[in-house]
Structure 1
Amino acid sequence: MNTTRRGGTGDVATATDGAPRKRRLVGIDAARGLALIGLMAIHLLPAWNEQTGEASWSWRLFSGHSAALFALLAGVGLALGSGARQPREGRALTADRVSVLVRALLIVTVGMTVNAAMPEDPPAYNILFYYGMFFILAIPFLHARPKTLFIWAAAFGILSPLLMQRMLDVLPEWWYYNPTLPNVLSNPAGTLSQLLLTGNYPALPYMTYLLVGMGLGRLDLRAVRTQVRLVIVGVALTVLAQLVSAVLLYGLGGYSVLQEASRLSESTLDEILVWGTDSLPTDTGWWLAITTPHSNTPLAIATSLGLSLAVLGVFLLISQKIGDWLVPLSAMGSMTLTLYSAHLLALSLELHYDSPYLWYVVHLLVAAAFAVIWQRTLGQGPLERVVAYCAKGTRRLVAGRGGNANPEKTRNS
């Protein structure tokens, strides 16, 4: 869902200033390709096993986590595109900010256009509408260093869920899962609430992933030491979040409090802890101790963040040894805006319900084949090319024909 040039450096979202680039970090694209595969699985495959009634493997693996990985990688791309380890300053920074704003608006436009083609009761929730808001909220942080970004990420991860739960009963309601422009104009307050706190991918909690990704993009992601640390920290964070949740719920009585406060049966509460609810209940603060996908509690965010860090670290490590084997995955990851939009448009035909596994394979094979062939013949994905052209043109207008007063700061590291 980002933009690049063939032969560019680093992330798919970074090549907007025309400066020289190092060889592409294939592991980033491959990780994004996996995130796309995960979203397709959630949209197409059954969420539960019909024989056992238990959550399916696809739900357990990807629900909530694929979107978090997308947001993390978006942050990496924003950092790589704004100077990488040397954040830009002055006019060049202003140009970066305007360029990111243009990209955000274009992504929102694509998202609402896709939404217009989808049925009112959609087969999937479109993240693009929220994705643009992620970018807009990231603009003030484009100059920041890793430590600052990580501190802000922690603040968003802790405070946003608290704000979400405290304000849920007073915030204006939204009416459509996948808003179009007329929907936005008819209910602007509800749409803003949806984008920031109450929607399927609320921007304020998701800023945790984005800002951590930006912080990572300011580090040396080519260093093996950094890659190993990503895996270790990611696994540790995931395990710690799950452990803390278990202690709070089952060791300190949180489960009983939830049952009493919500007046739910044990079986119903257990279902909520697996599947979640449309919105986080507000009858007790103990709901913030759960790690259910899309609940956007601090511990749920920490779980998804940890998994995302580990996945990125693993792909960065293995891409150095088996990069050629990752070509289908990395090609898909290099044009996720195009492939994700096409995937949603295909879902809008509603042909997949009777044969979900077959259609999942079809979506994967078509996406992989298209991505590999297109990348090898034409480079950028079609929508990525349009976004890159507009963003790069805007950046040059703001920065001037020279593009940057300090060329060294345009090179990713």
Structure 2
Amino acid sequence: MTVEQGTRPPAVRSRLLGVDAARGLALLGMMSVHIIPAITDTGELSAARLIASGRSAALFALLAGVGLALATGGRTPLRGRPLLGASVGVVLRALLIFLVGLCLGALDSGVAVILAYYGLLFLVAIPFLGLGARVLLPLAATWSAVAPLLSHAYREGAPPASYDVPSLDSLSQPGDLLRELLVTGYYPVFPWMAYLLAGLGIGRLALSSTRVAATLLAGGAALAVAAWVASMILLERGLEHLESAGLGGHPASPVNFGEHVLNTSFYGTEPVTSWWWLVVASPHTATPFDLFHTIGTSAAVLGLMLLIAARARGVIWPLAAIGGMTFTLYSLHVVLLSGPIPGGEPNAYLIHVAIVFAVAMPWRAFIGRGPLEALSAALARQARELVAPGRSAAPGP
């Protein structure tokens, strides 16, 4: 059971509601990409592909960092034994998310399940939990610029990605699994650390401040536009190099990428046939331009939800209800896709959306945390009490 919202100060309630609402949007966007075809009957890219592809998953990852920041002191990072206790709690939460992700990966859902990557992201975030925004935000920017270059250089000589969804069977080859999770998979943790670092930095800000929320909205939108426009300008010179270099066996979709290169999903990484691939801002490429663009869109969405939460709580409460239990609802969504309501069913997306609202709203109103969230919180609480008895971390979303 979560602490009742009514017992928290209004600023804290609005902050948590805004963060949860942004997380709810991320879940709905990811669900749309999983279910709605990328190409419409008329041969055009679908709205789900144009709006949500790459951006929803990035928002999900950035908000993981925000949540970790709020759970480890908010504006004032924990220190000493409380930080150690919180870190041990993060380890247990990460292991739970990782194992659930591997179990879901064994299902025939057609989804590149993010949870195993998400769990590893939590683990690698631990050394950064004691840092403040003044360090984390520049570090996120540096990581966004440098990590993709290092990843590209490494993958030029590395075995090709399998594009398998991590599952329990993957544990039989731990080296291959770790390489896929870190560098070559659908949501490669090494470059994706940029999202977590940015989220941690944002979570260290005064999120209950209207000025901060407005800055996130305006600054994020400006960053997103700047990265996209810069990519377009560079592609005017680089597209011919990309066309001549080709994909090198990379399963980009749709295949006719020349006409829609900035809206083509690349399944986690850009091809390594040319260094010019690093200038694209296309979804799931983890290039510098992709990372800066999606960090910008994620910050803008969070800022907008925080502004709305401070003025019209009732408007976004249903979204926040979903966002408060995304671990449970994402898992339910994957299970439903694996059999009961597959993506090919008529109106499948609307049915999935209706189910998550029908589950989340009464559960959030009368119970609180979702079942997987409650288990995760209980593990973290036990770890904190074991390491730092009587000292609790700041309430997270």
1:350 CA drift (Å): 6.8
Measured against aligned partners, the alpha-carbon deviations of 1:73-106 in whole angstroms (never above 9, x if no partner) come to: 1111101111111111111111111111111001
* 2:166 alignment partner AA: P
For 1:125, which of 102, 112, 115 is the aligned residue?
A: 112
Choose 273-282 or 386-395, whichever is displaced more.
Answer: 273-282
| Structure 2: tracts of 5 or more residues without a match | 249-254
Mapped partners of 2:87, 2:396: distance in 1:
17
RMSD: 2.3
Measured against aligned partners, the alpha-carbon deviations of 1:108-149 in whole angstroms (never above 9, x if no partner) come to: 111112222x12xx4111010100011011000000010211
Is it true that 1:107 corresponds to 2:97 in the alignment?
yes
> Once the two structures are aligned, what percentage of the paired residues are identical?
40
- Say if 1:41 and 1:360, in contact at 8 Å, map to a contact too: yes
**Equivalent residue number for residue 141 of structure 1:** 128
Mapped partners of 1:172, 1:256: distance in 2:
27
- Say if 1:172 and 1:189, in contact at 8 Å, map to a contact too: no
**Equivalent residue number for residue 31 of structure 1:** 22
- Say if 2:247 and 2:273, in contact at 8 Å, map to a contact too: no
For 1:397, which of 379, 386, 392 is the aligned residue?
A: 386
Q: Using a 3 Å threshold, how does the CA distance of structure 1 residues 111 and 84 change in structure 2: closer, same or farther?
A: same
For 2:188, which of 199, 202, 206 is the aligned residue?
A: 202
Measured against aligned partners, the alpha-carbon deviations of 1:368-394 in whole angstroms (never above 9, x if no partner) come to: 011111112211111111111111011
For 1:336, which of 326, 348, 352 is the aligned residue?
A: 326
- Say if 1:171 and 1:193, in contact at 8 Å, map to a contact too: no
Measured against aligned partners, the alpha-carbon deviations of 1:171-216 in whole angstroms (never above 9, x if no partner) come to: 345546222222222x211111111111111111111111111111
Mapped partners of 1:411, 1:386: distance in 2:
16
Q: TM-score, normalised by structure 1?
A: 0.88
Question: How many aligned positions are there?
Answer: 386
Mapped partners of 1:277, 1:22: distance in 2:
39
Is it true that 1:41 corresponds to 2:32 in the alignment?
yes
Mapped partners of 2:256, 2:196: distance in 1:
35
For 2:275, which of 279, 282, 285 is the aligned residue?
A: 285
Mapped partners of 1:75, 1:392: distance in 2:
19
Q: TM-score, normalised by structure 2?
A: 0.92
**Equivalent residue number for residue 239 of structure 1:** 225
1:213-224 equivalences in 2 (<5 Å): 213-224=199-210
1:272 CA drift (Å): 4.5
1:156 CA drift (Å): 1.8
**Equivalent residue number for residue 212 of structure 2:** 226
1:22 CA drift (Å): 4.2
**Equivalent residue number for residue 152 of structure 2:** 165
Mapped partners of 1:291, 1:353: distance in 2:
27
Is it true that 1:370 corresponds to 2:359 in the alignment?
yes
Match of 1:367, SS state, is helix
**Equivalent residue number for residue 308 of structure 1:** 298
* 1:105 alignment partner AA: L
Is it true that 1:270 corresponds to 2:259 in the alignment?
yes
For 1:55, which of 45, 52, 68 is the aligned residue?
A: 45
Mapped partners of 1:320, 1:60: distance in 2:
29
Choose 277-286 or 96-105, whichever is displaced more.
Answer: 277-286
Q: Using a 3 Å threshold, how does the CA distance of structure 1 residues 140 and 317 change in structure 2: closer, same or farther?
A: same
Mapped partners of 1:344, 1:263: distance in 2:
30
Match of 1:270, SS state, is coil
**Equivalent residue number for residue 12 of structure 1:** none
**Equivalent residue number for residue 179 of structure 1:** 166
**Equivalent residue number for residue 252 of structure 2:** none
* 1:255 alignment partner AA: L
- Say if 1:291 and 1:300, in contact at 8 Å, map to a contact too: yes
**Equivalent residue number for residue 87 of structure 1:** 77
Mapped partners of 1:263, 1:176: distance in 2:
15
- Say if 2:53 and 2:265, in contact at 8 Å, map to a contact too: no
Mapped partners of 1:173, 1:377: distance in 2:
48
* 2:105 alignment partner AA: N
Choose 165-174 or 370-379, whichever is displaced more.
Answer: 165-174
Mapped partners of 2:79, 2:112: distance in 1:
37
Mapped partners of 1:26, 1:277: distance in 2:
33
Mapped partners of 2:225, 2:161: distance in 1:
35
Choose 92-101 or 275-284, whichever is displaced more.
Answer: 275-284
Is it true that 1:326 corresponds to 2:311 in the alignment?
no
- Say if 2:163 and 2:186, in contact at 8 Å, map to a contact too: no
Match of 2:140, SS state, is helix
Measured against aligned partners, the alpha-carbon deviations of 1:242-271 in whole angstroms (never above 9, x if no partner) come to: 111111111xx111222233399x955335
**Equivalent residue number for residue 254 of structure 1:** 238
Q: Using a 3 Å threshold, how does the CA distance of structure 1 residues 268 and 380 change in structure 2: closer, same or farther?
A: closer
**Equivalent residue number for residue 386 of structure 1:** 375
* 1:135 alignment partner AA: F
Measured against aligned partners, the alpha-carbon deviations of 1:58-84 in whole angstroms (never above 9, x if no partner) come to: 111100100110111111110111111
**Equivalent residue number for residue 18 of structure 1:** none
